[in-house]
């Protein structure tokens, strides 16, 4: 036993560093404030007052998710300012599928050794994601766990809570054959399929994250760290003007497995290959890993990050609203009769 005796710091947990981290992130948290937030950072719990007068029959909608092995890319590059956006996006896009307005977000950051500057980078990204989604960063937890994570590494997860009018919940029950399927462009891989992407590109193909690839127009690392797009503002604007019958956030499982989750019995979706552009990163994965097209479609978003289903007569107005909101929106298919599922006409990859 050391002469001075044991302390929490000697065991690997630095309370002083934790306090410094809190001081560094306060301004980022404050920048996400929105109506309903009560109190500030530092309490045992975050407080949010629901504006009951806005709703006749409000329903709270909640979701949680993490960033996954995309974090390995951030560790390798020593860049931590974008993964927080991913954490927010994965949660708020999920609750948006139900038609919910995100109200607040909570993050969970677990580290092996707490480095205040690194924590600030991560939380700055979380705050940026919250601002993009219009929700408050209400609180969270930073846990220092010595011996649990390798030096410089951490895990990041998030929890979002939103609200929707019960009568306005989007559950897919109104979807009928003849409806139109719209797709919103992704920014790239978003936060899914990274175990396969890292294996193919970094291990099998031997590429470096710092390699500048002409097809990508940037380094491989920059491409892989592109944040997941947050679709809240344009989709909420669309919902104010057009009846949206169903939505799907295209995450793990890709187009093939996420769209059927919102289809009622007796309906299926037929997608038209070639109706949307496939970003170069997916072409690179396909060729470098000789990944079969069905596997590409059930692992990655292949260029479509979010799907909406509207009545055929609302198609043009929906496209106009989404385009005016800055989205790259396109018709990618239609609803047909049959068992819930997705079929693709033609080949997505040449």
pLDDT digits (tens, 9 = 90+) for 245-301: 999 999 999 999 999 999 999 999 999 999 999 999 999 999 999 999 999 999 999
Q: Is the pLDDT of residue 10 over 80?
A: no
Residues 192 and 129 both lie in one domain:
no
pTM score, whole prediction: 0.93
Q: Which of 123, 146, 168 is a domain's end point?
A: 168
**What's the pLDDT score for residue 2?**
55
Q: Which of 168, 191, 225 is a domain's end point?
A: 168
- Which residues are bridge partners to 304 per DSSP? 185
Q: How far is CA 312 from CA 124, 175, 176, 181, 325, in A?
A: 41, 11, 10, 9, 21
Residue 3: inside a domain: no
Q: Is the pLDDT of residue 330 over 60?
A: yes
- In the chain, alpha helices (H): 15-30, 71-77, 83-96, 116-133, 194-198, 220-224, 232-241, 254-258, 280-289, 293-299, 315-324
- Which residues are bridge partners to 139 per DSSP? 106
Query: Of 170, 164, 189, which is closest to residue 263 (Cα–Cα)?
Result: 170
| Cβ–Cβ < 8 Å for 257, 341 | no
Residue 9: inside a domain: no
Average pLDDT score over residue span 198-225: 97
| Cβ–Cβ < 8 Å for 106, 168 | no
β-bridge pairing 342-345 and 37-38:
unpaired
Q: What is the pLDDT of residues 59-117, one digit of tens each?
A: 999 999 999 999 999 999 999 999 999 999 999 999 999 999 999 999 999 999 999 89
Which of 2 and 114 is assigned the larger pLDDT?
A: 114
Residues 135 and 284 both lie in one domain:
no
Query: Of 303, 305, 312, which is closest to residue 336 (Cα–Cα)?
Result: 312
Residues 322 and 193 both lie in one domain:
yes
| Cβ–Cβ < 8 Å for 136, 48 | yes
Residues 266 and 339 both lie in one domain:
yes
CATH number of the domain bearing residue 151: 3.30.1330.10
Residues 99 and 155 both lie in one domain:
yes
**What's the pLDDT score for residue 18?**
66
Percent helix, strand, coil in the chain (nearest 5)? Answer: 35, 25, 40
Residue 174: inside a domain: no
Q: Is the pLDDT of residue 136 over 90?
A: yes
CATH number of the domain bearing residue 221: 3.90.650.10
Query: Of 306, 282, 276, which is closest to residue 89 (Cα–Cα)?
Result: 306
- Which residues are bridge partners to 37 per DSSP? 48
* Domain count of the fold of the chain: 2
Percent of the chain with pLDDT over 90: 82
Look at the block and give the residue holding tokens 């560093």: 17
Average pLDDT score over residue span 136-146: 93
**What's the pLDDT score for residue 21?**
65
Residue 290: inside a domain: yes
What is d(CA 329, CA 308) in angstroms, rounded to the nearest whole number? 10
What is d(CA 203, CA 73) in angstroms, rounded to the nearest whole number? 13
Residues 163 and 189 both lie in one domain:
no
What residue numbers bound the domain in which 277 lies?
Answer: 180-345
Residue 175: inside a domain: no
Q: Which of 132, 147, 168 is a domain's end point?
A: 168
Residue 2: inside a domain: no
Q: Is the pLDDT of residue 1 over 70?
A: no
Q: What is the pLDDT of residues 144-167, one digit of tens each?
A: 999 999 989 999 999 999 999 999
Q: Is the pLDDT of residue 11 over 90?
A: no
Sign of the Cα torsion 229, 232, 234, 235 reads positive
Residue 4: inside a domain: no
Residue 277 tokens read as 């552009």
The mean pLDDT of the chain is: 93
Q: Is the pLDDT of residue 226 over 90?
A: yes
Residue 137: inside a domain: yes
Residue 269 tokens read as 């979706």
Residues 195 and 328 both lie in one domain:
yes
| Cβ–Cβ < 8 Å for 124, 28 | yes
Residues 185 and 89 both lie in one domain:
no
Residue 171 tokens read as 């559950």
């Amino acid at each position: 036993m050391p002469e001075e005796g044991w302390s929490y710091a000697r065991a690997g947990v630095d309370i002083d560093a934790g306090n410094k981290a809190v001081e560094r992130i306060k301004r980022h948290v404050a920048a996400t404030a929105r109506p309903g937030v009560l109190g500030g950072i530092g309490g045992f719990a975050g407080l949010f007052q629901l504006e009951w007068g806005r709703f006749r029959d409000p329903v709270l909608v909640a979701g949680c998710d993490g960033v996954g092995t995309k974090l390995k890319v951030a560790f390798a590059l020593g860049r931590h300012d974008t993964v927080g956006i991913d954490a927010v996006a994965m949660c708020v896009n999920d609750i948006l599928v139900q038609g919910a307005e995100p109200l607040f977000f909570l993050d969970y950051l677990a580290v092996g050794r707490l480095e205040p500057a690194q924590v600030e980078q991560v939380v700055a990204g979380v705050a940026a994601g919250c601002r993009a989604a219009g929700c408050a960063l209400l609180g969270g937890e930073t846990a220092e766990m010595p011996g649990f994570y390798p030096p410089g590494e951490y895990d990041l997860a998030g929890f979002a809570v939103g609200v929707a009018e019960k009568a306005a919940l989007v559950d897919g029950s109104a979807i009928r054959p003849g409806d139109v399927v719209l797709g919103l462009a992704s920014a790239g891989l978003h936060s899914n399929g990274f175990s396969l992407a890292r294996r193919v590109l970094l291990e099998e193909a031997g590429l470096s994250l710092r390699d500048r690839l002409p097809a990508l127009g940037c380094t491989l690392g920059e491409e892989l760290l592109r944040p997941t797009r947050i679709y809240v503002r344009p989709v909420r604007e669309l919902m104010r003007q057009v009846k949206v019958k169903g939505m799907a956030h295209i995450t793990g499982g890709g187009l093939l497995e996420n769209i059927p989750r919102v289809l009622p019995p007796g309906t299926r979706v037929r997608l038209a290959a070639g109706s949307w552009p496939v970003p170069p990163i997916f072409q690179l994965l396909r060729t470098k890993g000789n990944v079969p097209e069905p596997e590409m479609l059930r692992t990655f978003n292949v260029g479509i990050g979010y799907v909406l289903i509207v009545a055929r007569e609302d198609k043009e107005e929906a496209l106009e609203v989404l385009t005016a909101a800055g989205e790259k929106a396109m018709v990618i298919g239609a609803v047909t009769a049959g068992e819930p599922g997705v079929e693709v006409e033609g080949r997505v990859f040449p």
